[in-house]
Amino acid sequence: MKPSPIRTTCPYCGVGCGILVSREANGWSVRGDPEHPANRGRLCSKGAALAETLDLDSRLLHPQIEGRRVAWHSALDTVARRFREIIAEHGPQAVAFYVSGQLLTEDYYVANKLMKGFIGSANIDTNSRLCMSSAVAGHKRAFGEDVVPACYEDVELADLVVLVGSNAAWTHPVLYQRLAATKQARAQMRVVVIDPRRTATAELADLHLPLAPGTDAWLFNGLLAHLRRAGGLDWGYLQTHVEGFGETLAAVERLTLSEVAAACELPEADVATFYRWFAQTTRSVTLFSQGINQSSSGVDKVNSILNVHLATGRVGQPGASPFSLTGQPNAMGGREVGGLANQLAAHMDFTPETIERVRRFWRAPSMATAPGLKTVELFEAVRAGDIRALWVIATNPAVSLPQVDHVVEALRRCEFLVVSDVTARTDTARHAHVLLPAAAWGEKDGTVTNSERRISRQRAFLSLPGEARPDWWIVCEVARRMGFSSDFAYRSPAEIFREHARLSSLENGGTRLFDLGPLASLDDVAYDRLEPLQWPPTSRSVGTARLFTDGRYPTPTGKARMLPIQPRPPARRADTAHPFVLNTGRIRDQWHTMTRTGKAARLFAHIGEPCVEMHPRDLAEHGLRPGGLARVYNTQGEALVRVMESAAQRPGSVFVPMHWNDQYTARGRVGALIGAITDPISGQPEFKHAPVAVLAYAADWQGFLLTRHDPQAICVDYWARVRGQDCWRYELAGSLAQWPAEETLRLWLGGGRERIELRDPAAGRYRAARVETGRLQAVLFLERQAAALPRRQWLESLFARERLGEDERAGLLLGHPGRAQDSGGIICVCHGVGERAIVAAIEGGARSVEALGLALKAGTCCGSCIPELRALLTRARVPETTAA
Ligand code: SF4
């Protein structure tokens, strides 16, 4: 009998989609859970490819000390002993944990408890600092607590959806699909996208406002001023439920439409349209994300958005609310346990009363009494030697932080660095003194909370490989060895969850909305069966869809607060030496530093190399060529990436994805270009605005290597490692001095000297293929002129053959069989449909996304490519028709 599918949750973005995993004859299969309220059966391209990421290739399977495999007890003893010694000699502020929104709530809880209650420092911060902390601070200032009042259903109930600083089509694809489906069904719904780039999300927009980077607070201040002038304020709500509105309205009353339009570099008519729609539409939801948060004035930007929703009474109402989208699967869970250094636990800050309360509850011998260091400060303290022992859990700061070269220096200098991870080789792990193998998705059990406060279970369906262990177990074993046995003697995540729930309701009395009291009595079976529910629960099975519905807020007066916002420009401006503004972010099919999505070949089909997106006018003015290579640099550092032409960019702005790192390219870490500039309240770095210069990289030669065997060590100026279906692809470029010698050719191609070769030194050409018993092993093409290189698709397809045919063998060094057409860059990764095929279908009469689906299957699986299908239809100037 086929076992029933396991119900679990996607480990990627904050949408928190439910997943059904089943064992099939040919391996694991993954599909969307139709009963999960977040996704109702949908999955995006990343979630749909999860089954391809389950192999043990690249996994860390055994504890290591200084690169040598050791037994668990030895690794744990060493970690506990070194932390104890450093604390004894230098005090508790000399140690720190840096954790992650990838952790489950139970893992997070024990790490926070150990650091803040038993070590006696609050130096535990999470990578959510990089994506969410401005929203946290904004919520606390306005609402009195870090609360997202809305739910996903509100996006479907709204008549106006405003997306600001959010490319949801790529970063929260399933929520975007829900929005797109609703918009198609409800003609009266309007969508406004506010983003300097015309992203895939803007394909759905009735109005796109490509505002100047960093000017969001001007736009929302102007909206507030307009609402007042146009009679759009809800005075009854303001007088009953809000304080601070007098000063806030006074601060914007002189702001005119033309001043806003000038500050934001937008046409006045477009700003007026947005303001009119917002004023007229009671049911309006504003979705905001990293484009707002990742700024040196991120908290103020958040409050400028919350101000307009408070001023109109549109908070926590069906189809009317501000709505912060979280980036990671459990960024919210981290916020709930107190994983940020400036929070204590369970939505309690550091006050004498709360410190005492938590001390009693934990029976804590050594309570932290003040906030710890926020991420950027924390790594600076490591670099300065003030923090001597650091434990990094489930994250990769050597890639993801600003000023990564300083971070790498900090990791190198750190007296004692422990890294818990699922992946053996990461940019961070290479500096660790102790490596601890953690359980991965599919192997671990616990809970996560998504953007709409919905707590869902992640359930294990795989046994633990090698000696991998869950993070909660690892933390507790170290705690026990540090002398805290009885307080960390948990036997299961369920036990930890119950304690977390009890703490949330301790002496709460309605003062904190985060209260999981009804879940504190779940037994193990009930915990295992826990259905997704939104906190705060009113019973063990009923959650709360919306908060602040009655206009009461968890502040001393019970009222929300509006704050006068003085807009500030980004900390650093472009200048003649660095004329472009760099924006960073996610692409559609990769996740964070690619440790997991890098395992699925189809997720490289959309964008396979690190790149810089630039407007065609900027390319022309700076002598750059689409498809060429460019150095993106500033005083911080440099990246070497592929140039992508994109009319979606604002002239003067460039975009570089955040994912690439030293495991996948030579110099692609965008963090090297970002300064350590943070919001003064939240400590969130300004990832969206760094002045840079872009210069063409003049390669003496370019080429590519396709190989079954991954050589890993490539030493040329540019290489990018791309996982294909049956081979690895390396894109290569270098100087004359880096032209590969025979020894290098052997390393790249493998085997001895037996290979089919074409050498033409005068033309700067080298082509080679190695075939063993009829099976292709490797192909290498190097050319002085990149234009002479063939497309890779046909050659890559030959790696699927058990034996090459005569025609195929004959075409090897040509790079094509002489007659095949490739399908262009892949747009639909689920069905492998390329751009050329789509354009041909459009030219052949396909007039809608649905028609393309019927003709090619494109867009019919996860739907992540639908915005790009729409863009191709628009580009072909084909008005989309609605399917009958
Ligand atoms: Fe996972 Fe995609 Fe759903 Fe996000 S939208 S949770 S990445 S399936």
Distance 83 CA to ligand 1 centre (A): 37
Residue range 19-41: mean pLDDT, rounded? 96
Q: How far is the CA of 11 from the centre of ligand 1 (A)?
A: 8
Q: Is 799 in contact with 787 (CB distance < 8 Å)? A: no
Dump pLDDT digits (tens) for 558-609. Answer: 999 999 999 999 999 999 999 999 999 998 998 888 888 888 898 998 999 9
Q: How far is the CA of 15 from the centre of ligand 1 (A)?
A: 6
Ligand 1 cavity residues, CB under 6 Å: 10, 12-13, 15-17, 39, 43-44, 46-47, 172-174
Q: Which residue's entry shows tokens 């262990």?
A: 469
Q: Residue 287, Cβ neighbours under 10 Å: how many?
A: 29
Candidate of 8, 9, 15 to mutate for ligand 1, largest count of ligand atoms within 8 Å of Cβ:
15
CA angle 114, 532, 42 (to 5 degrees): 120
- Give the 3-state secondary structure of residue 53: helix
Q: Residue 273 C-alpha to ligand 1 middle, in angstroms?
A: 33
Q: How is residue 114 annotated by DSSP?
A: I
- Atom index in ligand 1 nearest the CA of residue 19 equals 8
pLDDT tens string 471-502 = 999 999 999 999 999 999 999 999 999 999 99
- Atom of ligand 1 lying closest to residue 864 CA: 2
Dist. CA 271–CA 747, nearest whole Å: 59
Query: Quick check: 418 and 433 in contact, CB under 8 A?
Result: yes
pLDDT digits (tens, 9 = 90+) for 749-786: 998 778 999 999 999 999 999 999 999 999 999 999 99
Q: Is the pLDDT of residue 821 over 70?
A: no
Characterize 184-221 residue by residue with b for buried, 16 or more Cβ atoms within 10 angstroms of its Cβ, and e for exposed.
eeeeebbbbbbbbbbbbbbbbbebbbbbbbbbbbbbbb
**Could you report the per-residue pLDDT of 71-108, keeping only the tens digit for each?**
999 999 999 999 999 999 999 999 999 999 999 999 99
Report, as an integer, the average pLDDT of 682-702.
97
Q: What share of the chain is helix, strand, coil (3-state, %, to 5)?
A: 35, 20, 45
Core vs surface per residue 815-842: b (16+ CB within 10 A) or e = beeeeeebbbebbbbbbbbbeebbbbbb
Of ligand 1's atoms, which has the minimum distance to the CA of residue 32? 8
What is the residue type of 381? A
Mean pLDDT of the chain: 94
Distance CA 19, CA 34 (A): 8
The reported pLDDT for the residue numbered 713 is 80
Residues 173, 862: contact at Cβ < 8 Å? yes
Position 214: which residue type? G
The answer to whether the beta carbons of residues 298 and 565 sit under 8 Å apart is no
Q: How far apart are CA 42 and CA 178, in angstroms?
A: 9
3-state SS string over 616-641?
Answer: HHHHHHCCCCCCCEEEEECCCCEEEE
Can you list the pairs that 55-58 forms with residues at least 24 positions away whose Cβ atoms lie under 8 Å? Answer: 55/599, 56/465, 56/466, 57/599, 58/423, 58/424, 58/425, 58/595, 58/599
The closest residue, in CA terms, to atom 2 on ligand 1 is 44
Cis peptide before 536 (omega within 30 of 0): yes
- In ligand 1, which atom is closest to the CA atom of 47? 8
Round to whole Å and give the CA distance between 255 and 19: 48
Distances in Å between the alpha carbon of 137 and those of 148, 193, 300, 309, 354?
12, 24, 9, 17, 19
Q: Could you tell me which residue, 854 or 399, shows the higher pLDDT?
A: 399
323 to each of 127, 317, 456, how far by Cα in Å? Answer: 21, 12, 19
From 8, 20, 42, 44, mutation site for ligand 1 pocket: most ligand atoms within 8 A of C-beta:
44
**Predicted confidence (pLDDT) at residue 883 exceeds the cutoff of 50:** no
Q: What local confidence, expressed as pLDDT, does residue 1 receive?
A: 39
Indicate whether 788 pLDDT > 60: yes
